[in-house]
Structure 1
């Protein structure tokens, strides 16, 4: 690790990437707000496993094949868009049901509870089905791998550092949001949150569907 002279630049880049809005952050915020910290942990772990898988695939050259192949990239783009749109529609449906319950004077619907494996799988699928992740990994890691270092092994180490940093950042974000969990789970606030997160996820899905390489 001492032989890699670009650690400061790499760490700064990782923090900026993790802090940028996207599907990962939207999922973490929604899970933490509606289900609390414990509900967000499996989602974060799933997202980071998917990220590490893409990093290794990029180092092995598979991600490059996906990015270069029109058919493979199209399939991944369609799958990724479908996953995000499905999550968005699910959130919008939840907001609509809660709004109907509020208008009819019924009891507020309980906050959705999903098993840890469901949240973990959701995180993995969202990350792996993101075609931009393949393109990003191909462009990102080679900048920080010295020419005299083995590409795969060095990328694996860099990706572990990125996973560790992102995990800490996302779990810290989830903990901060979870502290205000009681406020987020108020019927009106929850309806608003479901609607906004659903619109964001749906918009991200449509953007993926219409994007190129």
Structure 2
């Protein structure tokens, strides 16, 4: 399908993927603290949430969310709570690390969340993002030819985006995980948890006060 191979679409997807945001912050933290395997379910969850929004946009549900002030406000509130909650978790982990004063030797990867829990966390972060609804409604129709079925074409375009983002995010996670020994040094790990927690809380507050 020509629209899927359109360079403008691929470039837009790549720019979207590398833009700083909750997804990148979450992946970096998971890969640095728990290693590559800990980041994989998070990446898959984020992409599942993205694909769900794309299908909802194609079905018109995302458009209703974007158009409804009440629905947008509720989703914005949920998204802010989720991000602030994740940020507080990271800050608490940083405080525990600081108080525990772990020895650098033999610290090993941090405790990993269960695969399904990490997957669900990724899905929740993506679905609780009200900007995703607005974005999907505005983004995909630009690349769907008038003579093509909207739902099927959007579903295919979203698959391309999911595939590209999955490769990019897993590569990012692998690169961060390779430096795992450095990240697991007590001071570095405490600093990382503190910074990632602060970033997630800040993103949550930004979502809370953001407009359309």
For this structure pair, what is the TM-score category when the shorter chain's length is used for normalisation?
over 0.9
Query: 1:146 aligns to what?
Result: 145
**Within 5 Å, which residues of 2 pair with 1:46-195?**
46-102=45-101, 111-195=110-194
TM value normalised by structure 1: 0.95
Shift of 1:6: 6.5
| Shift of residue 64, structure 1, vs aligned partner | 0.6
> In structure 1, what is the Cα distance between the partners aligned to 2:4 and 2:63?
25
- Taking the aligned partners of 2:53 and 2:171, their CA distance within structure 1 comes to 24
1:212 partner SS: coil
Given that 1:6 and 1:144 are in contact with CA atoms closer than 8 Å, whether structure 2 keeps it comes out as no
Q: Where has structure 1 moved over 2 Å in runs of 4 or more?
A: 106-110
In 1, Cα distance between equivalents of 2:5 and 2:141: 11
Encode CA deviations 1:137-188: one digit per residue, 9 max, x unaligned: 0111011111111111110000000000000000000000000001101110
Give distance in 2, aligned partners of 1:32 and 1:107: 21
Q: Partner of 1:9 in structure 2?
A: 8
**Ranges in structure 2 where 5+ consecutive residues have no aligned partner:** none
Name the CA distance, whole Å, in 1 between partners of 2:144 and 2:113. Answer: 40
Q: Secondary structure at the match of 2:112?
A: coil
In the TM superposition, what is the alpha-carbon distance from 1:107 to its structure 2 partner?
5.3
Paired residue for 1:41?
40
1:99 CA displacement? 1.1
Q: Which runs of 5+ in 1 are unaligned?
A: none
Q: TM-score, length-normalised on structure 2? A: 0.95
- Deviation, structure 1 residue 8: 0.7
C-alpha separation in 1, matches of 2:170 and 2:72: 31
- CA distance, structure 1, for counterparts of residue 63 and residue 12 of structure 2: 21
Q: Distance in 2 between matches of 1:6 and 1:183?
A: 40
In 2: Cα distance, 1:8 partner to 1:200 partner = 32
Partner of 1:31: 30
* 2:103 and 2:186 in contact (8 A); partners too: no
CA–CA distance in 1 between the matches of 2:43 and 2:129?
A: 16
Q: Does the Cα contact within 8 Å between 1:42 and 1:116 map onto a contact in 2?
A: yes
Distance (whole Å) between structure 2 residues aligned to residue 171 and residue 6 of structure 1: 22
What RMSD, in angstroms, separates the aligned Cα atoms of the two structures?
Answer: 1.4
Structure 1 contact 47–120 (Cα < 8 Å) conserved? yes
Q: 1:14 and 1:49 mapped to 2: Cα distance?
A: 16
Supply the distance in 2 between the matched residues of 1:132 and 1:112 (Cα, whole angstroms).
32
